[in-house]
Amino acid sequence: MQTVGDVKEITQQILSEMKKRIIGNDETLEIILTTMLANGHVLLEGVPGIAKSYMAATLGEVMGMDHKRIQFTPDLMPADITGSSIYNPKEQEFKFIQGPVFTNILLCDEISRAPPKTQSALLEAMQEKQVSVEGKSYSLPEPFFVIATQNPIEQVGVYPLPEAQIDRFMVKLLVSLPTFEEEVALLKSKREKFVPDVDIVTNSAEILKAQKIVEKVEISDQVINYIASLVVKTRFVPALALGGSPRASIALMTMSRARAAMKGRDYVEPDDVKALYFHVMNHRLILTPQAEVEQIPISQIIEALIKESKVIV
C-alpha cells in the first residue's frame, strides 16, 4: 500500500464484503472504518437487536484480524479485561496471563453495565495502547481498535460513562433501526437461514500502512481554521454547559484526513469536515439544565453551527 488510491481500493473492498451480511446502516459502516484508519475508537449507541455486535464481528472477520468480545456486567473486574499474574508452582514464579484486551479489534458489549473501576481499566488501554498490571506495562497489539456499545433506554443497573472517558471515543454513532424494506430483506435472509460467506481482504500490516498514509493527507490552513471555528464556537453556545475541547478539534481533523483518503484524495475538503462534525461532537457536548428541560436536541445546535460557520479562503 503506497497511496491514497490504495487506501480507497482496500476500504471499498472491506465495505463491500461487510454489506454482504449487514443490511442497511451503510454510513455507520463507513464511519466505523474511517475511525479505525484515524487510529481512534467507536462508541455505538442503539436499542438492542440492531446488529451492533454483528458489525464488529464481521469487521474483524473481513479484515483478517484477531477480534474478541467482552460482555460487560456489574461483576466484571479489571483483571477480566487486562489479564492477571498466575503463580506457576512448577517454575515457582508468577506468569502474566493476557486478558481479552490483547487483540486487534475489541468489542465491549454494553460498556455502561460495568462499574467505573473496570471502565477505567479499559480507558488506559484505549489511550495508551498498553495495560499496567502489578507495576508492569504490557503493550497491546497494533492496530488496536475498540468498538463499544451501549443501550440508550436503560437506566437501571448501569454506570453511565463519565465525561473524561466518553471523550476518549473519537466518534459516537447512533445506530438507527432498519427501514421497512431493510426489515423485509433481513427477515427473508433469516427465513432461508442464509449467512453469506465473506472474504478476508486485508490484514493488520496493511491497515497500519493505511494509517500512516492518512497521517500524510494534506490539510490547508483554511480547513484547519474552519475546524477550529466549528469547535471553539461550541464553547459559547448558551444552551451548552460544556463545549468541545482541543481533543475534539484533533479528532475532527484526523477523521477528516481518514475520510479524504477513503475517497482517494490526498487533501481534505470542507465537506469532509461537515460530514463528520456531528459524529465527532455529539457525545462531547453537554446541555445546560434549562436546555434539557426544553429538550433542545444536540443535533439542532450542531446544524446551526455548521450553517453559520464558513470557510475563509
Alpha carbon 198 to its chain's center: 22
- Extract the runs of DSSP E, i.e. beta strands, from the chain: 42-45, 67-71, 83-88, 93-98, 105-109, 130-133, 136-139, 145-150, 171-174, 240-242, 286-287
The vertex-59 CA angle with 49 and 20, nearest 5°, equals: 75
Please, are residues 291 and 300 in contact by the beta-carbon 8 Å criterion?
no
Query: Quick one: pLDDT at residue 155?
Result: 62
- DSSP-derived secondary structure for 49-66: TSSHHHHHHHHHHHTT--
**Residue 297 CA to chain centroid, in angstroms?**
22
How does strand 130-133 pair with strand 136-139? Answer: antiparallel
Which residues, 6+ apart, have CB-to-CB distance to 81 below 8 Å?
70, 99, 100, 101, 118, 121, 122, 125
User: For residues 78 and 76, what is the distance between their CA atoms, to the nearest angstrom?
Assistant: 7
| Cα gap 243→233, rounded to integer Å | 8
* Tens digit of each residue's pLDDT (9 = 90 or more) over 129-140: 888 887 788 899
Locate 300 and state its grid cell.
439542532
**Three-state SS for 162?**
coil
* Residue pLDDT, tens place only, 52-61: 888 888 998 9
Between 165 and 30, name the one with better pLDDT: 30
**Mean pLDDT, all residues of the chain:** 90
Can you give the pLDDT at residue 185?
87
26: CB partners within 8 A, 6+ apart: 15, 19
Q: What is the pTM of this model?
A: 0.91
> pLDDT tens digits, residue range 9-26?
999 999 999 998 898 888
| Alpha-carbon gap, residue 143 to 65, rounded angstroms | 9
pLDDT for position 285: 94
Q: Which of 119, 236, 212 is nearest to 166 (CA)?
A: 119
In 3D space, the residue among 126, 160, 168 whose CA is nearest the CA of residue 146 turns out to be: 126
- pLDDT tens for 195-250 read 788 999 999 999 999 999 999 999 999 999 999 999 999 999 999 999 999 999 99
Query: For residue range 108-148, what is the model confidence (pLDDT) as tens digits?
Result: 998 988 888 888 888 888 888 888 887 788 899 999 999 99
Q: Rg of the Cα trace of the chain?
A: 20
Superfamily of domain 217-308 in CATH is Magnesium chelatase subunit I, C-Terminal domain (1.10.8.80)
Point out which residues pair with 138 in neighbouring strands. Answer: 131
The CATH class of 4-76+103-191 is alpha beta
Residue among 170, 140, 164 at smallest CA distance from 248: 170
Domain ranges of the chain: 4-76+103-191, 217-308
Closest-CA residue to 150 (of 169, 126, 124): 169
Distance CA 197, CA 195 (A): 6
Residue 185 CB contacts under 8 Å (≥ 6 apart), including other chains: 23
